[in-house]
Chains A and B, each alone.
Chain A
């Protein structure tokens, strides 16, 4: 979620990590931003995640040894959704965990306020397992960099792959995704928003831009 602050155009303003604050900041900036594009409806997200699940199963023959880990916040419900799709195909559940990357951010000395740390829950050992990180938007790549650092502190996974809903470009470090539902070119002022029912009341993906 590191990129969010930049994405919604609040730049070096207060960190949006705290959920309450995040929503408040969205409201605050609602006036300056409007939806310019609808990328995916809930049904389309569902379809994309089903495709992604199949791609994951195709690539990883030994799914018993694979776990999905969602990056807080919106990667978590996405990982659970994706796990449901994997289960539909395999007829067996896949481990799901959640990772909070705030303690590993590279901009802690630059933000005005410390982001609220939320729980990392990995109810399984990651040593020797194949890990698929799940996040909503791939942007600068810094969140994933932090997530990799966080992950390694829990053990040595056999491999790590990355699944994201949207790859919007603008990478600042050499990181790429293995599974992408939607790739698109964006301008610097645009904000790609994967909305999740758990946090935003609705499942959909939109692009917002300055009025």
Chain B
């Protein structure tokens, strides 16, 4: 290899990091799949680059408070962005609801869940996976649904908790939990149920899962951050978001 070519490669490593408009995005675990699709389209359409990190809102909150380099937060809830805003950690006036989450009762086996969720009452399962209700809005919503159905005490011994909705899905997808309350987005591909069987929980059984986005203080003046927020509001992005089973 030529000497000059090595030098070129060496410098392009650094050039790449500096010259391209780039935004670091903290993304709620439940929104991972749609956001990857949106980020790809965003990069193609605008030339900006979105670097995605997936995790729980609680962890992101702690990291952001302690200087994490995120510029945009796509939270799984409305509280975390609001709280960061109150604490002066965001760019004022940028907070908005990018998606409204839907909860499904899901099983990896085809004939487990009926269209009305009666399986919850009937039994025939050893474990019901939910996200930790203290940490994850989908977990809190699942507990609310069980309360509304008057089943919470009956199923409590069967509950297993994932630390976030991604792990909850993993418990159910591996079959270790026969049933799980997961995000509709996790089991939806191209507007349809990807596999297994599911009951889409009626929205009136739990408070709406409003998922808010906000530009963080770190993202002030970052063109890519502003462009991404605008892109999330575009019809194009909304179509993707809806195709994954969210309301918006």
- Are A and B physically bound partners? no
